[in-house]
C-alpha cells in the first residue's frame, strides 16, 4: 500500500503569519451549518443543525452560492450541558449515495456535578441520535431541485431497522436506512454516563467497504462496514496532558477524519480546560496506531490536504479558535515545508472546510453567521 509522507515535527513547528485575507460570504441563510463537503459540478453539501428540535437538514450550495435544501426533518435537539443545538454533522458522498452522521442531540442533560451527564428524563426528540444514515438518491444531489422531508414518524421507522422511501414531488426519490446506531448512554465512573457523538465522516479509496467515523463523545474512530453496518473501534485516543494541576488531563475529542495514503488524518480538539497548543492533527496508520502530525494547535476542528506533483502535499489546519477561553477568532493555516503560514486569523465560529483545487479556494462554514465563506488560496 502506498505510504504518504509525514511532515515531521520539526518541519511544521514554527508558523509564520501570512497576509490578512478577506473572507467573502459565498452562501448565506443557512441554519447553524456544521459540516461541508465538495459535491459534483462545483457544488457543496452542507449539514445544518437547524434552530428547533428535528429541524436538521442537508443543503446543496451550487457553484454560484445559492443554497437549496436537499433533505429536511433530520434529528436535532439541545445537547448537554449548555443546551447548544446539535444534530446532523458529518457528511460523506459517493455518487448518488450520501452518508449523514446524526449527533447526540438532546439524548442527555447536565448531571449533578460539573462535567457529568445523565439521560434526558423528559425523553429525547428522536430515536435516531448517535447514528449514521444512508441516503440513496435517484440522481446526484446537485441535480435535485426540491427537498425530501422526513417526518417524526419516519424516525421511528428508521429506528425499527426499516427503510423509508421519500418522494420530493419533482420526480426524484430517496431511500433512507440506518447504517449503524451507536450506543449512546455508556456508564462512566467520571462522567456518570458517556455519550456517542459521531461528528466527522470519511470514505477511503483503499478500503471501499469501510466508512470511518470520528466520535467526539467516545474519543474513538469507528470503522463501519458499508455492506453489513457492523461497527468496530479502529483507534481509541488517550487523554491529553494539559499542564494544568487542577485539570491535568483533557479529553481528546476527535472531530474530523480524512483519508490520507493508506491511513487517516484526524483532528483532536482537546477538551476542557482548552489549553492552547494541546490540540493537534494526528496520523493514524492502518493498524490503528497514531502519532503527531501537526502539533501545538489550539482547537483543531478540521484539516485538508492537496497533492503537489513532484513534492509533498500541501496541508491545511482549521482551528475553531486561536484561544478558546479568551474568545479569540478561528484561523486557517497552510503548511508547506518548512513553515506553516496563517492564511486567515479572523474566522467566526468555523466548524468545517472543503478544499476545491479547481477554484483554488477553501470553503469554510461559519456556524453563528449561518454562512459559508470563501478563502482564496495561493
Domain definitions of the chain by residue range: 32-297
Mean pLDDT for 66-81 is: 97
For 150-186, letters b (16+ CB in 10 Å) and e give: beeebbebbeeeeebebebeeebebebbbbbbbebbe
Separation between Cα atoms, residue 221 and residue 253, nearest integer Å: 10
Q: 169-203, pLDDT tens digit by residue?
A: 999 999 999 999 999 889 999 999 999 999 999 99
Instruction: Fold for 32-297, please state it.
Output: Neuraminidase (2.120.10)
pLDDT tens column, 315-370: 999 999 999 999 999 999 999 865 689 999 999 999 999 999 999 999 999 999 99
pLDDT at position 151? 98
Tell which residue, 93, 69, 74, has the closest CA to residue 85: 74
pLDDT digits (tens, 9 = 90+) for 30-60: 999 999 999 999 999 999 999 999 999 999 9
What's residue 337's pLDDT? 61
Amino acid at each position: 500500500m502506498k505510504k504518504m509522507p509525514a511532515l515531521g515535527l520539526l518541519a511544521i513547528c514554527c508558523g509564520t503569519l501570512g497576509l490578512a485575507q478577506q473572507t467573502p460570504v459565498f452562501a448565506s441563510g443557512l441554519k447553524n451549518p456544521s459540516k461541508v463537503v465538495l459535491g459534483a459540478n462545483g457544488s457543496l453539501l452542507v449539514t445544518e443543525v437547524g434552530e428547533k428540535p428535528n429541524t436538521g437538514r442537508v443543503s446543496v450550495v451550487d457553484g454560484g452560492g445559492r443554497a437549496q435544501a436537499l433533505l429536511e426533518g433530520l434529528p436535532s435537539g439541545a445537547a448537554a450541558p449548555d443546551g447548544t443545538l446539535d444534530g446532523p454533522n458529518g457528511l460523506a458522498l459517493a455518487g448518488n449515495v450520501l452518508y449523514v452522521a446524526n449527533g447526540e442531540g438532546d439524548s442527555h442533560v447536565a448531571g449533578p456535578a460539573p462535567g457529568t451527564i445523565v439521560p434526558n428524563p423528559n425523553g429525547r426528540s428522536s430515536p435516531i441520535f448517535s447514528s449514521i444514515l444512508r441516503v440513496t438518491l435517484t440522481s446526484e444531489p446537485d441535480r435535485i431541485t426540491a427537498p425530501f422531508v422526513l417526518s417524526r414518524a419516519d424516525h421511528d421507522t428508521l429506528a425499527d431497522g426499516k427503510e423509508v422511501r421519500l418522494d420530493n414531488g419533482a420526480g426524484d426519490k430517496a431511500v433512507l436506512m440506518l447504517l449503524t446506531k451507536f450506543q449512546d448512554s455508556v456508564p462512566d465512573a467520571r462522567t456518570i454516563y458517556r455519550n456517542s457523538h459521531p461528528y466527522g465522516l470519511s470514505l477511503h479509496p483503499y478500503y471501499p467497504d469501510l466508512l470511518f467515523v470520528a466520535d467526539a463523545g467516545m474519543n474513538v474512530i469507528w470503522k463501519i462496514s458499508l455492506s453489513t453496518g457492523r461497527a468496530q473501534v479502529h483507534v481509541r485516543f488517550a487523554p491529553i496532558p494539559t499542564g494544568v494541576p487542577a485539570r491535568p488531563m483533557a479529553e481528546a475529542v476527535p472531530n474530523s477524519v480524512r483519508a490520507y495514503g493508506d491511513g487517516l488524518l484526524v483532528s483532536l480538539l482537546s477538551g476542557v480546560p482548552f489549553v492552547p497548543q494541546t490540540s493537534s492533527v494526528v496520523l493514524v496508520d492502518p493498524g490503528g496506531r497514531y502519532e503527531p502530525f501537526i502539533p501545538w494547535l489550539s482547537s483543531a476542528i478540521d484539516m485538508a490536504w492537496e497533492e503537489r506533483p513532484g513534492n509533498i502535499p500541501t496541508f491545511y489546519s482549521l482551528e475553531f479558535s486561536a484561544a478558546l477561553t479568551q474568545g479569540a477568532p478561528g484561523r486557517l493555516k497552510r503548511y508547506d515545508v518548512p513553515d506553516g503560514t496563517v492564511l486567515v486569523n479572523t474566522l467566526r465560529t468555523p466548524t468545517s472546510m472543503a478544499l476545491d483545487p479547481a477554484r483554488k479556494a477553501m470553503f469554510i462554514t461559519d456556524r453563528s453567521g449561518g454562512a459559508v465563506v470563501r478563502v482564496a488560496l495561493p
